[in-house]
A and B are shown apart, each in its own frame.
Chain A
Amino acid sequence: MKHVKNRRPRPIEGIDMVTLHGPITVAYRRVSRMWHCTALQFDLVGVGKTKVEAFAEMRDLLRDYLEEVLATDGPVRFFNPAESGEWNVRDQEYYNVALLVSGGESAAPNRTPLSDIARLRGYRDAVQGIGLVPAGA
């Protein structure tokens, strides 16, 4: 088998990756034999038998959530911070939200602050995908 671990992904023509500046905090907790993985800025939680399963569900829920809020016209609340106790959990990771956007370099501005995510509603038709990348990667 060919070793491809360090190979950089080949860019897709016409698709840019726009990373939002400012990480989201992901906290893990064990709740009665299950793992809960919470995106604290949005209070979205994935549940699974392992941390990996819980993270994958949270990531998919966050994707659905962001697609929904970006598609909403009029005033919308983007952030639903989790309750204070959940922010004190020690097992935390940090991720940046990345959007795959079509339309070339003039499409959505890269490094848009996460707090200004509402600005991306203007580009919602160009968003082809939403994902999470480890902060600092």
Chain B
Amino acid sequence: MGRSLRFSVFKRLLGRWGVAIKQGSKPTHYNLSKVIRGERRVYTIAVHDNEVLDCYVHKTRRIFELLPDNGVSDEDFLRK
């Protein structure tokens, strides 16, 4: 997909895919988490200027198994 997303869109998408999001120690840091096959996965991203950079979008999708390799196409990910 390789594109950045507005934070509000990213947050909404994560919510729909069952990924919890909470603010970290700084206003720009967010901890994401989801239980997958009985094990909690955690990932931490930075958000600047209300934008989630494409590297964070990709790595988030990878860690929470939301990539085409996991059966989630880019369209599916954005449409949900």
Contact = CB atoms under 8 A, between A and B. Distances in A.
Interface of A: 31, 36, 43-47, 57, 60-65, 67-69, 72, 74-77, 80, 83
Interface residues of B, number: 21
6 contacts: A43-B59, A57-B46, A61-B29, A68-B42, A69-B42, A80-B43
Contacts of A77: 39-42
B19 interface: no
Given A45-B56, A45-B59, A47-B55, A64 B39 contact: no
Given A60-B29, A61-B29, A64-B31, A46 B63 contact: no
A114 to B, nearest CB: 16
Contacts of B59: 43, 45
A72 B42 contact: yes
A65 B43 contact: yes
A76 B34 CA distance: 10
Contacts of B40: 72, 74-77
Contact of A75 (B25, B33, B38): B38
B5 interface: no
A74 B26 CA distance: 26
A62 to B, nearest CB: 8
Nearest to A73: B40
Contacts of A80: 41, 43, 63
B56 A64 contact: no
The 6 closest A-B pairs by CB, nearest first: A64-B24, A65-B44, A75-B39, A76-B40, A61-B44, A68-B31
Contacts of A36: 55
